[in-house]
Amino acid sequence: MRTGNDVDVAEKAEGIIRIALAEDLGVDGDVTTTAVCPPGARARAVIVSREPCVIAGQLVAAKVFALAGAEVSYDTVVEDGGRASGGDTIARLQGSLAGILAGERTALNFLCHLSGIATLTGRLVDVVGRGGVTVMDTRKTTPGLRALEKYAVRLGGGTNHRRGLFDGVIIKDNHIAAVGGLEAAVRLARNSLSCRFPIEVEAATLARVREAVDAGADIIMLDNMDPPAVREAVEIIAGRAKVEVSGGVGPNNLASYAQLGMDAISMGFITHSAPAADLSLEVYVEETG
């Protein structure tokens, strides 16, 4: 569910919301509505879920209509993080017909995309169940939408990995090559950053896993390992570091991986390949002026 830290997500995303509206409205605005609909027409509308889903993006959708250039009230029926069934009304709108139509597609684009991410995340969390394995996202996000997509992951019950290169350490092959070895990379990171961040090392082989353990890594990310290799890696690590699995894990094999003893599984497809939720906006004209 939404937390206190999330209530300003729409404010933080105002720049990308304005870009999305400008992309849709251009210089001339909604020429179809201007040509066809009576000036001053007012309407009410509902946003309806066509399938079961976890709702995400209500704060963003409300911000879209607030910025669309005409007064439109947006009343949330299903809060962010809530579950909707097929046919449920998730929001009600009232105000200028032109304003509702101007914001419709942009608001739905955000709502459908973010609700799709939250819904997929929720399904994956359900698959893992109560086994103590954390479902995490990655940095494989849509440019400009990372904060919103990671917000949707949280609403689905998942956990955010690092938000960017600035708030977490993951030592990868290129870092190791740059300094001539894994032990040196871990030592340099720890000396430079002290205790600000845990030191995570990406390992694609069992030999690299052993190196990471010997170097004192706090977290070892098992990269694209099949289940037998993951099982062996967990045995090698033997509780001396936390274990994250990343790569090669999907909805069809998540349950089998989750039983292998890791602490977390990170999956990029949660954000880059989640199918959009099926939501629609239905308008009812009230009066003309």
Q: What is the pTM of this model?
A: 0.94
| Residue given tokens 């090669």 in the structure block | 248
Q: pLDDT tens across 114-135, in order?
A: 999 999 999 999 999 877 899 9
pLDDT of residue 3: 52
Report the percent of the chain where pLDDT is more than 70.
96
Average pLDDT, the chain: 94
pLDDT of residue 69: 77
Q: Which of 2, 92, 140, 163 is catalytic?
A: 140
Catalytic residue flag (residue 63): no
Q: Which of 123, 172, 187, 210 is catalytic?
A: 172
Q: How far apart are CA 239 and CA 262, in angstroms?
A: 10
Backbone torsion region of residue 198, taken as left when φ is above 0, otherwise alpha when ψ lies between -120 and 50, otherwise beta: beta
Q: Which two tokens stand for residue 119?
A: 């819904």
Q: Which two tokens stand for residue 225?
A: 């390992």
**pLDDT band at residue 289 using 50, 70 and 90 as cut-offs:** very low
Q: How far apart are CA 106 and CA 24, in angstroms?
A: 7
Catalytic residue flag (residue 223): yes
Q: Is the pLDDT of residue 62 over 50?
A: yes
Q: Is the pLDDT of residue 286 over 80?
A: no
Domains along the chain with CATH numbers: 4-125+275-287 (3.90.1170.20), 130-272 (3.20.20.70)
For the segment 126-146, the average pLDDT, to the nearest whole number, is 92
Q: Which of 105, 139, 162, 240 is catalytic?
A: 105
Q: Which of 30, 104, 211, 223 is catalytic?
A: 223
Catalytic residue flag (residue 202): yes
Catalytic residue flag (residue 172): yes
For the segment 213-236, the average pLDDT, to the nearest whole number, is 98
| DSSP track, 134-199 | EEE--S---TT-HHHHHHHHHHTT-B---SSTTS-EEE-HHHHHHHTSHHHHHHHHHHHHTTSS-E
Q: How far apart are CA 31 and CA 106, in angstroms?
A: 16
Q: Is the pLDDT of residue 4 over 60?
A: no
Catalytic residue flag (residue 140): yes
Q: List own/partner pairs for 66-70 with CB under 8 A and 24 or more apart.
A: 67/14, 67/17, 67/18, 67/21, 67/103, 68/21, 68/99, 68/102, 68/103, 68/106, 69/29, 69/99, 69/102, 70/95, 70/96, 70/98, 70/99, 70/102
Amino acid making up residue 289: G
Q: Is the pLDDT of residue 6 over 70?
A: no
